[in-house]
């Protein structure tokens, strides 16, 4: 469970939110998670449940 209360809880909205942040503000998932105080593995698991995984080369969940 993600502890940051400012991010969307719905997985599809979370996907859009995270990909937008990655595109516009962060050069890696690690930097996004560090800055937003998110657990990277929790985030990956939530999005994996809707069949998305992080692509480091593209810097987004696909």
Integer-rounded Cα radius of gyration of the chain: 10
Query: What integer pLDDT is reported at residue 6 of this predicted model?
Result: 85
| Residue 24 near residue 60 (C-beta atoms within 8 A) | no
Mean pLDDT estimate for the chain: 95
To which H or E segment does residue 2 belong? none
Contacts 24+ apart (CB under 8 A), 38-44: 38/2, 38/3, 38/4, 38/7, 39/2, 39/3, 42/1, 42/2, 43/2, 43/18
Q: Is the pLDDT of residue 25 over 80?
A: yes
pTM (2 d.p.): 0.93
């Amino acid at each position: 469970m993600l502890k940051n209360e400012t991010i969307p809880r719905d997985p599809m909205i979370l996907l859009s939110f995270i990909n937008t942040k990655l595109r516009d503000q962060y050069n890696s998932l690690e930097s996004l998670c560090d800055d937003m105080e998110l657990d990277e593995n929790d985030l990956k698991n939530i999005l994996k449940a809707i069949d998305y995984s992080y692509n480091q080369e593209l810097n987004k969940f696909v």
